[in-house]
Amino acid sequence: MFQNCSRSSFQGKIVEIPGSTLVTLEGIPEKNIDETYVTVTLVPAGHCVGAVMFLFQTINTTVLFTGDFRINEKDIYKYAGLHDVAEKPIKINTMYLDTTFIDLVYENFPKRSQSIDAMLKEIESCLLTGSGVALHTSAKYGYEYVFNKIYEKLGRKVYVNEDRWRFYRKISHLVPGVTNNDNETIIHLCTKRNEKNHSTCIPRNYPQFLYIHLSAMKWMNSNTFKPIQRMSPTRVDVCFATHCSRSEILGFVNYFKPDKVIGFPNPYIEERGLKRGNSLREEGKLESMLVKRFCS
């Protein structure tokens, strides 16, 4: 169970927590508060490996704390913890909601599987040339699904440095796609913003690298929904969001129709940020600048 994983150190012990636990909260007689029984249920959050939502239920109140999450509206029905015995969505009184991408500029993201399929084709071509592959990610964690898919489809693991390995080796059954042995692979998890120099992130050297940058923010106001974009012969940018897009956020809220929604880190407002028409021009400018920079 990990929340806010990009900001955690993961140096502690990994624990397994049962799906549902009954907790007794002692009463506070001087404040006229009775003893309360709360059922706490953990629901997979789809953000990074081990990420969960917390569902708190008392006899008369239900609160869902999503934490960082990404779930497509079409998949919500699969989450048993969020449905009653008749398979209907549970009644939620208060929802604490991850609104990282609530702005209008993040209306849609491609599915992670679409982005990965497109990325795998690029890596596959690169493997034929003998180049190394550098995977650069926007956040520290949340790409375990990427590593596992590369391993599953191409039979190659991703080399991670000691810092990441200290964590991943504890959950190697969940992340079989990583290794700390550089002899095992030509793909590494890159710590460099400079796509040309990898001498400190992998011990072995290659004549050339394919630099793959995974992020979501760059895709603001994209109206093409392209999962990847080739920036230069040696660089590919991949749209990979570990938080819900704006339409996924609204879909999630609409599915449960909670009485009250409290957004974090942004307020939950249905119309927030720049409008699409205005910033498409900005997107055009941004793309021209990026192409100029990386293709020159």
Nearest residue to Zn ion, scored by beta-carbon proximity: 190
Q: Using CB under 5 A, which of the segments 16-24, 78-86, 139-147, 184-192 binds Zn ion?
A: 184-192
Q: Which of residues 131-160 bind Zn ion (CB under 5 A)?
A: 134
Give the nearer residue to Zn ion in terms of CB position, either 170 or 192. Answer: 192
Q: Which of residues 185-204 bind Zn ion (CB under 5 A)?
A: 190, 192, 198, 201
Instruction: Evaluate whether 148 touches 227 at the Cβ level (below 8 Å).
Output: no
First to last CA, the chain: 45
3-state per-residue secondary structure call for 13-79 = CCCCCCCEEEEEECCEHHHCECCEEEEEEEEECCCCCCEEEEEEECCCCEEEECCCCCCCHHHHHHC
Does 272 interact with Zn ion (rule: CB under 5 A)? no
As measured in angstroms, the least distance from the Cβ of 202 to Zn ion is 6
As measured in angstroms, the least distance from the Cβ of 196 to Zn ion is 10
Measured distance CA(131)–CA(114) in Å, rounded? 24
* Cβ-Cβ contacts under 8 Å for 121 (sequence gap 6 or more): none
* Continuous segment of H or E residues that includes residue 215: strand 209-215
Does 234 interact with Zn ion (rule: CB under 5 A)? no
As measured in angstroms, the least distance from the Cβ of 16 to Zn ion is 33
Kindly write out the interface string for residues 81-120 of this chain, putting x where it contacts Zn ion by CB under 5 A and - elsewhere. Answer: ----------------------------------------
As measured in angstroms, the least distance from the Cβ of 159 to Zn ion is 9
What are the residues binding Zn ion (CB under 5 A)?
134, 190, 192, 198, 201
